Amino acid sequence: RLKPDLVFLDIQMPEVNGFELLEIIGDINFRLIFTTAFDQYAVRAFKVSAVDYLLKPVDQKELKLAIEKVKKRGSAEPAKEYELLLKNIDQIKTIALKAQGEYRFFEVDEIMYLKADGNYCFLFRHKPQRQEHISYSLGKMEEMLPEHLFFRNHASFIINRNHIKKYSTKDGGYLVMRDGARLPVAKSRKTEFDNWMGFNDS
């Protein structure tokens, strides 16, 4: 069994994300450097928890600095830092969105997908299964939602990977969501979508 001193952990992975993997591992007795494309949810949690991270694409100088930083910390027990990180991730699992003149709080996990409506958008929830009219554009929502969970598969849609029931490459490519909705995958976004989902061989 390997006993690493330092692990580089990506946030976006095919089966589970990096945070979920940490919870599965449980006893963390090694140093971690997280790597992620800009994901404001993740970066905010990293900063609050004072853990090391690198933004992709990784710069060689930044990589060297991150490794030196880890070396300076020595053999101090890292577990508490990562426990704090997971706690901070839990605390930002809700999002406040303006809808019909008031702010409503939504569990990020319950958002199945969003559909553009001009300068606004419709948010489709899982529980209870209904739609909400949100006072933000789809572009703004794309900036606000965590990248490891949400992807803009089309100019008119953003989907949550945890609510995809089926992905078909027929008819130009489309997704079947948990509520039965069939959403297109734009041709221009297909390669990026496949990489995001971990379908690198498709």
In contact, 172 and 180? CB cutoff 8 Å: no
What pLDDT, on a 0 to 100 scale, did the predictor assign at position 202? 44
Domains of the chain: 6-91 (3.40.50.2300), 95-197 (2.40.50.1020)
Handedness of CA 12, 14, 19, 22 (dihedral sign): negative
What pLDDT, on a 0 to 100 scale, did the predictor assign at position 31? 83
The DSSP 8-state label assigned to residue 113 in this structure reads E
How many angstroms separate the CA atoms of 28 and 88, rounded? 17
Residue with tokens 């600095």: 65
What pLDDT, on a 0 to 100 scale, did the predictor assign at position 19? 76
Q: Which residues of the chain have pLDDT under 70?
A: 1, 14, 38-45, 47-50, 74-79, 81, 84, 86-92, 200-202
In contact, 162 and 140? CB cutoff 8 Å: no
pLDDT in tens, 137-184: 999 898 888 787 899 999 999 999 999 999 998 888 999 999 999 999
- Output the CA torsion 146→118→128→85 (10° steps): 10
What pLDDT, on a 0 to 100 scale, did the predictor assign at position 45? 65
